Amino acid sequence: MATVISAGGGANSSEDEGAGDLFDYIGTLDEARVGDLFACRWSCLGVLRHLSPLAKQLVLRLTCVRKGVPLEWLSKSVVAGAQAKGALREALTQLRTLKVLVDVIGEPGRVQLHKAFASQLRASIAAPQISALPWQDGLDGSRGNDKTSGSALMNLEDAALRKWTAILHFIVGSNEYGNPGKRVVKLLVSMGLMGHGGASDRSGTAHNNGVAVLGSSLPQITRQGYEFMLKDIHEQVWIFMKHYTRKVGSPESVLQMLFRMSYCKPGTECSSGTLDETQRSLLGDFDLFGLVQIDESRRDRFFPTSLGVNVVFGQSREERMAAAARAVDLPAQSAQTGASDAAKRVKGEPGMVPMNRRATASSNVFIICETNFKVYAYTESSLHVEMLRLFVNIECILPNLIVAVITRSSIRSAFKLGITGSQIIHFLSENAHPLCKKRHRLVPDNITDQIILWEGERNRVRAQRGVLYKDFQPEEEAVHSAAVAHALENKWLLFQSGPPNMAFVILESKHDEMRAFVKRTRERLRNNVH
């Protein structure tokens, strides 16, 4: 009789904190939580805003229809043709994924809008002037404490940016902005972005003026932490928010708060009087991250920042890189016009507020890699200096330019931190200078190949998930031999041991097929004996 043992292997199997965005997460909520989420007007408006143009059309057509409609009725909303039908299928899939469109119970083939969602949309259409901005209940209406313009808004945004930047600097190993606080550090460790040693962490490395110092108990960046640093700022904030949705008992409260904040204007005074218990506990952490600023004189008042307002509908890295690429080719007059228009948009409008121009400029890095392994990084951010320092040797730092070189020792130092070759290549490619887009490769082939080869020096053994078959009886040697031959023929075999041990390991994904084969072989041989 063969004993079967499942053997786990491979890299970190923990759930990816960053997988998907806020709207992907909504698709994972159960019906009850979706109902609670759609009980908030701002959540419904946010979901509506996220929909594709055709999906929005379908929603608005169904908003005032209180009964289910046949799916065929929706197909009449588009013109004939394969392209239009494909767009309709995509729109319906999006609506179903977000739980906006649901099947009518007991009526196959008929659909309707989620009742709470439709109710909130009807209320918004009927009374759009009520509560023009979230969290205004309880305020006197004088707006004397707002920080929506001038130096007050600038100070608010600078303070928020310092808080967020301090967290990022701490993750990469710099204390230029100081320690972000025990509460934040504990959160970073619990999220797996930093750790106190282990296979993929910097064991016992402290943060001392940007230099790693062995022998300290401070946490260090992990592989997940470096992956986090490669993401867009809004993706980074969402990773924190997703962690909170898993911690709290009511994730819909977190989502409601984010949707409400997305319709605020940076610097507008808000009241915390209507926040539920979960949201009140989050408000303090939001202040630590720079998403809001709590009024020190009145703890029941807070001011959203651009970072918080843009969590849901922030500009992506791809959009910023595309804008930078366009700027490279703009004539002087067009560039000045674009800058003037952008300056006008800095004031912002509720629901679509750009980040502060200075913050955006300093948050970009444009990298040029040469075939001689020289790296030129155009940036004003000290954070990017620390990120590059993890895998390059920096030779010169100018006010807006870093000159560095990639070496075997610098890359191996990154590998020891748990950083992978693909992450390094991804960082160099994602932040490539817009002019590099014109060439065949963002990063020269010899650099990417060499990084992969250097990583291969450390990864000579590859872990795979497998299933161990052992404890065959002496009279079952023929069964063992047939099973090994079958696995070898189909390229399932990972390991084998002949008599007297008679054991072998196959790919875990082929366990059911092998188990059936062993059973058939044993029965066939038994029948031949009789």
> Could you list the residue range(s) of the whole structural domain that residue 186 is in?
150-309
CB of 102 closer than 8 Å to CB of 114:
yes
Cα distance between residue 468 and residue 488, in whole Å: 15
How far apart CA 135 and CA 280 sit, in angstroms, is 13
Same domain, 226 and 262: yes
Give domain status of residue 343, yes or no.
Answer: no
The torsion of the CA quartet 499, 503, 505, 511, rounded to 10 degrees, works out to: 130
Question: What's the pLDDT at 188?
Answer: 92
pLDDT for residue 53: 92
The per-residue pLDDT for 462 is 73
Average pLDDT on 11-25 reads 60
Q: Residue 197: which pLDDT band, with cuts at 50, 70 and 90? A: low
**Between residues 321 and 391, the one the model is more confident about:** 391
Q: Which residue has the higher pLDDT, 317 or 420?
A: 420
Nearest of 5, 4, 3, 7 to residue 465 by alpha carbon: 7
Residues 6+ apart with CB under 8 A from 370: 376, 444
Q: Are 392 and 410 in contact (CB under 8 A)?
A: yes
- Banded model confidence at residue 497, pLDDT cuts 50, 70, 90: confident
Q: Is there a single domain that holds both residue 299 and residue 327? A: no
Q: How far apart are CA 227 and CA 425, in angstroms?
A: 12
* pLDDT number for residue 445: 92
Give yes or no: residues 284 and 217 share one domain.
Answer: yes
Indicate which CATH number applies to the domain containing 496.
3.30.70.2610
Query: How many domains is the chain partitioned into structurally?
Result: 4
Q: What are 223's two structure tokens?
A: 């592989």
Say if CB 368 and CB 376 are below 8 A apart. yes
pLDDT at 19: 54
Do 485 and 432 share a structural domain?
no
Are residue 108 and residue 213 in the same domain, yes or no?
no
Taking residues 90-113, report their average pLDDT.
Answer: 91
- The tens digit of pLDDT for each residue in 137-192 reads 767 655 556 776 778 889 999 999 889 989 999 998 887 777 888 899 999 999 99
Q: Is residue 292 part of a domain?
A: yes
pLDDT tens per residue, range 118-137: 999 999 888 766 557 888 87
Query: Is the pLDDT score of 114 beyond 90?
Result: yes
Asked if the structure places residue 68 within a domain, the reply is yes
Distance CA 378, CA 344 (A): 26
Name 101's Cβ contacts closer than 8 Å, sequence gap at least 6: 58, 62, 92, 95, 111, 112, 113, 114
Which H or E element spans position 154?
helix 150-172
Q: What are phi and psi of 56, to 5 degrees?
A: -60, -45
- Cα distance between residue 47 and residue 29, in whole Å: 14
Q: Which of 50, 63, 56 is nearest to 122 (CA)?
A: 63
385 and 484: one domain?
no
CATH code for the domain in which residue 64 is found? 1.10.10.10
Residues 329 and 438 grouped into a single domain: yes
What tokens does 526 get? 């038994």
Band of pLDDT at residue 213, cut at 50, 70 and 90: very low
The arithmetic mean of pLDDT across residues 22-27, rounded, is: 90
Residue 370 lies in a domain: yes
CA 217 – CA 168 distance, rounded (Å): 19
Radius of gyration of the chain (CA): 28
Helix axes 182-190, 233-247, angle to 10 degrees: 80
Strands, E assignment, 61-188: 69-70, 101-103, 110-113
Q: What is the pLDDT of residue 63?
A: 92
Alpha helices in 366-510 (DSSP H): 382-389, 408-416, 421-430, 445-458, 477-489
Residue 242: inside a domain, yes or no?
yes
Mean pLDDT score of the chain: 80
* Final residue belonging to a domain, choices 94, 126, 158: 126
Whole-number pLDDT of residue 94: 94
C-alpha angle 166-348-21 in degrees, rounded to nearest 5: 60
Domain boundary among 441, 458, 475: 458
pLDDT value of position 142 = 55
Mind listing the pLDDT tens digit for each residue in 346-405? 333 444 343 443 344 455 789 999 999 999 999 888 888 888 998 999 999 998 899 999
Identify whether residues 323 and 302 lie together within a single domain: no
Judge whether 23 lies within some domain.
Answer: no
pTM, to two decimals: 0.68
Q: Do 442 and 360 share a domain, yes or no?
A: yes
Residue where one domain finishes, among candidates 458, 476, 500:
458
Which of 480, 473, 479, 483 shows the shortest CA–CA distance to 511? 483
Whether 445 and 485 share a structural domain: no
Q: What pLDDT is recorded for position 386? A: 87
Quick check: is 13 in a domain? no
pLDDT digits (tens, 9 = 90+) for 238-263: 899 999 888 888 899 999 999 999 99
Q: Examine the domain organization and report whether 284 and 394 are in the same domain.
A: no
pLDDT above 50 for 18: no
Residue 403's H or E segment, with its range, is strand 401-405
* Residue 15 confidence (pLDDT): 42
> Is a pLDDT exceeding 70 seen at residue 31?
yes
Helix (H) or strand (E) holding 505: strand 503-507
The secondary structure of residue 113, as a DSSP letter, is E
pLDDT of 106: 85
* DSSP 3-state of 8: coil
Query: Which pLDDT tens digit goes with each residue over 133-143?
Result: 888 876 765 55
Summarize pLDDT for 278-317 with one digit per residue, the tens. 899 899 999 999 999 998 888 888 999 999 998 888 755 5
Q: Return the percentage of the chain with pLDDT > 90, whole number.
A: 33
> Does any domain span residue 206?
yes
Q: Which residues of 283-305 are buried (b: 16+ CB within 10 A; e: fewer)?
A: beebbbbbbbbbbeeeeebbbbb
- Coil, helix or strand at residue 309: helix
Residues 162 and 288 in one domain: yes
